[in-house]
Amino acid sequence: MKNSFKKSLFAIGILFFVTACSVSDQVEDFSIRTYPDRVLFQPCEKIKNKDPNAKRILDQMELKLAETDRGVGLAAPQVGLSQRFVVINLGEGTEHKYRLINPEITWKSPEQSLSREGCLSIPGIDAYVPRHERVKVVYQNDNFEKKMLEACGFLAYCLQHEIDHLDGKLYIDYLSPKDKTLILKKYFKQTKRKNEK
């Protein structure tokens, strides 16, 4: 009798453990991941056709982006998901909003300009980096229809910045090693100060 009681307790324990593990696998808190979180350096997985989670994830990412101070774009690794999703919101009105699944740059103009960039994952710093002035991007929309987007100027810079995130690349990677070291020093100093407060 005593033994079987122990056995059933053990079984319940295992059941709890398994349930807890599977729940924690599914939990996505969509909190912004900051440098040097490993997820930011990993190349992201392609989204499978008709992935039933796509709409929900894009909705959550849009909400998260709206909560930020002056953020214009967000890539899925920035909220801890190593998947090829990007949202962009350049301002009021839906015509300035983009929800991109599996975006890919298919053409870049030879002309480049310096773009002043910051990143929600490296808060508090910014720098000028070279970007192509115009790009063509192929992506899938919410219904997994193939779309093409031609962009120039700020939107083109944004697309390059966000699509880089999907390949584990950050804008500071375009800086010279010396400038990158300097800017990261500044960033870590600020982070330390913030944590001490």
Residues that bind Co ion (CB under 5 A): 119
Whole-number CA gyration radius for the chain: 21
- Structure-block tokens of residue 57: 């994830």
Q: Which two tokens stand for residue 26?
A: 């599914």
Asked if residues 117 and 161 have their Cβ atoms less than 8 Å apart, the reply is yes
133 catalytic, yes or no? no
Q: How far is the CB of 43 from Co ion (least distance, A)?
A: 15
Measured in Å, how far apart are the chain's first and last C-alpha atoms?
A: 57
Pair type for strands 146-152 and 85-89: unpaired
CB of 16 to Co ion, least distance (A): 39
Least distance from C-beta 120 to Co ion, angstroms?
A: 6
* CB-nearest residue to Co ion: 119
Of 54 and 77, the one with the shorter C-beta distance to Co ion is: 77
**E-strand spans in 40-196?**
73-75, 85-89, 97-108, 112-117, 127-132, 134-140, 146-152
- Please count the other Cβ atoms lying within 10 Å of the Cβ belonging to residue 92: 8
Pick between residue 80 and residue 144 the one whose CB is nearest to Co ion. Answer: 80
In contact, 44 and 84? CB cutoff 8 Å: yes
| Residue whose entry in the numeric block shows the structure tokens 């991109």 | 100
Q: Which is nearer to Co ion, 90 or 144 (CB)?
A: 90
Closest distance to Co ion from the beta carbon of 64 (Å):
13
Of the pair 118, 138, the CB lying nearest Co ion is at 118
Given 111, 133, 145, 162, the catalytic residue: 162
For the annotated catalytic residues, the residue numbers are 162
